[in-house]
A = this chain, B = another copy of it.
Amino acid sequence: MSDVGLSAELVAVVLAVDDGHPWVLAAGEPPALPAGPLRVEEESLQAGVREFAREHSGFDLGYVEQLYTFADLGRSSDDRRMVSISYLGLTRAQIAGSVRPTDWSALYDLLPWEDRRHLDASGADRLGEEIERALRRWSIGSEERLDRCRFLFAYDERPWRPDLALQRYELLWEARLVAESPSAGSISALTAGPMLHDHRRILATGLSRIRAKLQYRPVIFELMPETFTLLALQETVEAIAGQHVHKQNFRRAVEVQHELVEPTGEVSHETGGRPAKLYRFRGSVREERAQVGTKLPLPR
């Protein structure tokens, strides 16, 4: 076992949604995800990540899941092999009034093309059009590249698949459109500036994962407060999915999964119109076993 030149760290993608705005724990210049050495004493990695996130953000993680282990050479500047074990964590943090709000970054500032919530209405999508022009230019002469762009970025009437965030990042990286690309051509302010090491890739991995998971497991409840209206639930899903969903169908999907939520009996008058019933997640959802098999809809 050659452990010379080997070191390991934990990297966390910690997500929170505050009133429809998705946030990720990331700060600094260049922006970096929270990361730290793997301590030898730690019993389990999972527990290590939780402790680590609490120290960093002051919030408890409701949900923790391993993402991916990066260990390729050339990831770090020095000549040792760095093994990064990355985790996804979800929390109910309220960013606005939190202790250190500057620890958080707006998720879609770091991955702007992944937010398409503005699309249905108006239509002006400067960034999207700029990316499309750049990608089509990059694809000239390669049918394969063109197909890949069409598929991932939903050109030519193809459906947009939210869960392909990682593949999109990798494509943009290859096409030299993100700041981290080797000799990046840096298209306008696509990503503002580089993130530390390969942290943006790790972030994209986390976003892909939670979006995929949303389709077959109700992980959003880890992002919701104790009680909430159905609209608030929907907006949280939309914040993660980066897309709007059909309101009536969303409600139907939620209600069909009896076992998922139950009305508290209270109503909320916050929104101005007809007051909305407040709901809470049923106890059974909070236990692992029932989570598998219930789901919330993601649009195609």
- A-side interface residues toward B, CB under 8 Å? 1-9, 37-40, 42-45, 66, 68-69, 71-74, 81, 83, 85, 144, 147-148, 151-152, 161, 164, 167, 284, 287, 289-290, 292-293
Cross-chain contact of A71 among B38, B68, B71, B74 (Cβ < 8 A): B38
Q: Shortest Cβ distance from A299 into chain B, in angstroms?
A: 15
Determine the distance from Cα of A224 to Cα of B3 in the docked complex, in whole angstroms.
38
| A73 shortest CB reach to chain B, Å | 5
Min CB gap A118→B, angstroms: 25
* Nearest CB in chain B: distance from A209 CB, A: 13
Residues of chain B lying within 8 A (CB to CB) of residue A40: 2, 4-6, 81
Question: In the complex the two chains form, is A289's CB within 8 Å of B1's CB?
Answer: no
CB-CB under 8 A from A83, the residues of chain B are 8, 38, 83, 85
List 30 interface pairs A-B (beta carbons < 8 Å), by A numbering: A1-B8, A1-B37, A2-B37, A2-B38, A2-B39, A2-B40, A3-B8, A6-B6, A6-B38, A6-B40, A8-B83, A38-B71, A38-B81, A38-B83, A40-B81, A42-B73, A43-B72, A43-B73, A43-B74, A45-B69, A66-B68, A66-B69, A69-B69, A71-B85, A147-B284, A147-B290, A148-B289, A151-B289, A152-B289, A161-B293
| Chain B residues whose C-beta falls within 8 Å of the C-beta of A9 in the assembled complex | 1
Residue picked from A8, A144, A164, A167, most chain B C-beta under 10 Å: A8
A44 to B3, CA, bound (A): 17
Give, as a whole number of angstroms, the nearest-CB distance from A166 to chain B.
Answer: 11
From B7, B66, B68, contact of A3 by CB (8 A): B7
Residues of B close to A292: CB separation below 8 A = 151, 161, 164, 167
CB distance from A159 to the nearest CB of B (A): 9
Residues in B whose Cβ lies below 8 Å from that of A37: 1-2
Q: What is the CA–CA distance of A289 and B139 in the complex, to the nearest angstrom?
A: 14
Q: Kindly provide the distance from the CB of A286 to the nearest chain B CB, expressed in whole angstroms.
A: 12
Using CB atoms, name the residue of chain B closest to A46. B72
Q: Which residues of B contact A43 (CB under 8 A)?
A: 72-74
Please measure, in the bound complex, the distance between the C-alpha atom of A71 and the C-alpha atom of B292, giving whole angstroms: 25
